[in-house]
Structure 1
Amino acid sequence: MPHDLPAETSSQRETCAVVLAHLSDPHLPPPPVRWWEALNKRALSLISWKKHRRHVHLAAICMEIVQDIARANVDAILVSGDLTNFGTPAEFTLAAEWLEKLPAQTLVIPGNHDCMIRQSPEKGILQWEKWSGATYPYARIHNGVAIIGVNSGIPTPPFMAYGRVGHKQLARLEALLTQLGDAELCRVVMIHHPPRKGLVPWRKSLLDHPAVAKLLQRTGAEIVLHGHSHDATLTHIAGTEIPLLGVASASLTDKRAHRQACWNHLTIRPRKSGWTIDLARHRPDGSITEQASWFRPQGTQA
């Protein structure tokens, strides 16, 4: 029930910090794809996987990321999409088994690979309903922190990987962010495609990113998390001071530092007039490559 708020308000918040782990794009090793499942866009993705991507997206690296998260004793793990490679029903099932074994309460949203072709929700994203919701956007609340999951994944033509939030989700998102803001909760928005121009090529972009940015300018949010780019980035939502935090793929090996596998360790502490949010970006071995900190005043929109 993504729009239902529990009785908890800021006056009832616990004073302890909420610690979140953000990872994305693990591209878990796929089971065999049956021939009739590849009579569509999946055929191109399958060729890419066999020729290149399976050599750089390594299960061992992703396992090290999960082990490091386990040592950090986080309150929740946020996975911002692309658990699968081809979005087959069998991949969704294996991904659900992976989610079940993660070392903390987990929330997930789908990415473009998870939504590669049209199929019934029962074969796809509803297999992850336990860690998300039956509808998007959804919200889950823990000690004064609200995690809002948005689905930007849509089926696209060959060689395209763009996304869209769409009018229905935008309307629900605006109502939800307003409601959560009025309840004085720290709002953490999670979306797969970055809602900002220039972080990915057009063919991979969020088509309605201007509408998402304008919505966030109106309603506010304390931080926005995304995946998809496979880049560890730190920017802002256009026209606001809202931090926009990207993360490299959780399974990727790459010579470029900003594309090497990592996860974002976020610590959110309530203050009298807002929240402090501390970031430490972790490599699989636990080393920290980047740190940042923000104070997000309560009641501000942008």
Structure 2
Amino acid sequence: MSAIQPSPVRLAHLSDVHLPPPLPISPRALFNKRALSLLSWQQHRRHRHLAGLGDAVVADAIAHAPDAFAITGDLTNFGLPAEFAAAADWLSTLPGAVTVVPGNHDRMTPMPWTSGLDLWSRWMPARPDAFPYMRQVGDVALIGVNSAIASPPFMAYGRVGRTQGERLRGMLLRTRHLCRIVMIHHPPRRGLTPWRKSLLDTAQFAALLKVTGAEAVLHGHSHNASLATVPGTDIPLIGVASASLQSDKPWRQAGWNELSISRASDTWQVDLTRRRVDADGTAHSTVHRTWKRPIGIPGIAT
């Protein structure tokens, strides 16, 4: 008689929700990069990032009863204290385990951690030096990496950094018996974003994962529902569309990723289903993909 396998762990991967900012915004908050971002939001983004569409995406995800939500950054638009408070209220409405990493909009300008991201400490570390962090859900280790740093005007790049990378290496090696799902905002692969929006230490991050292995990497930032691999490995690199963006391009239309992770003997099976929510609120599945990942084996060079 075959052994009874545990039930699959189901994840809802969302990103780049860009919740509507509390208005009005004080002029004192705009003597920096935020002024340019506010202009962009007024002229473009507020007409495309729609609160109702984001609500429909979240409702569809909740209806699928995931065991955990994995959110890869950019809940805010300008990284203002009032936005962090509003995002905390939004996060508190999500059921089950919720894990978050910050995005570039959440770190738009230098500001004390205690003035903003500390309000999300229920769902991620309360200090920047506590990244990476891990939340275990069944046999799945959700490992959150912080790539968000303040950048100059017209830039939105990110960096993991040597110290965080060393901690990540140890964490991934210690958890090889689990299904390791890495969460990061900036995609660790050239070409998925322009250079000014890229992960500056992509090569170092990819080299680390080649040594330690991981079962998948989830990212946001590009607003594209993309599939690739971490350079030099066969580790799936899974992007997701913005959860609130209305677009005439199907791969950018608002949606979320449903991942189902199960174990069979010495192999992890990772099943991905794309969920898209159209402008009329209709939700449907688009892409389905399955990967089988050997347990405890680093990524294999391609």
Structure 1 length normalisation: TM-score? 0.94
1:145 to 136, 140, 152: 140
How far does residue 102 in structure 1 lie from its aligned partner after superposition? 1.4
Aligned to 2:219: 226
Aligned to 2:191: 198
CA distance in 2, matches of 1:295, 1:89: 42
1:144-223 to 2 correspondences below 5 Å: 144-181=139-176, 184-223=177-216
CA distance in 2, matches of 1:70, 1:300: 33
> In structure 2, what residue type is equivalent to 1:142?
V
CA distance in 2, matches of 1:296, 1:196: 20
RMSD: 1.0
Aligned to 1:293: 290
The count of corresponding residues between Structure 1 and Structure 2 is 288
CA offsets, 1:236-277, max 9 Å, x none? 001111000000100000001111011000000011102100
Larger displacement relative to structure 2 (100-109 or 43-52): 100-109
2:131 to 136, 139, 142: 136
CA offsets, 1:67-123, max 9 Å, x none? 101110110011100000000011000000000011332111100000001111111
- 1:20 partnered with 2:16: no
> In structure 1, what residue type is equivalent to 2:85?
T
Aligned to 2:73: 81
Contact 2:68 2:137 in 1 (8 A): no
> In structure 1, what residue type is equivalent to 2:209?
L
Larger displacement relative to structure 2 (59-68 or 13-22): 13-22
How far does residue 286 in structure 1 lie from its aligned partner after superposition? 2.9
CA distance in 2, matches of 1:283, 1:237: 24
- The alignment-based identity, stated in percent, is 52
Contact 1:162 1:203 in 2 (8 A): yes
Contact 2:8 2:260 in 1 (8 A): yes
2:265 to 272, 278, 288: 272
Aligned to 1:69: 61
Contact 1:14 1:144 in 2 (8 A): no
Where structure 1 has 5 or more consecutive residues not aligned to the other structure, the ranges are: 1-12
SS at match of 2:54: helix
Structure 2 length normalisation: TM-score? 0.94
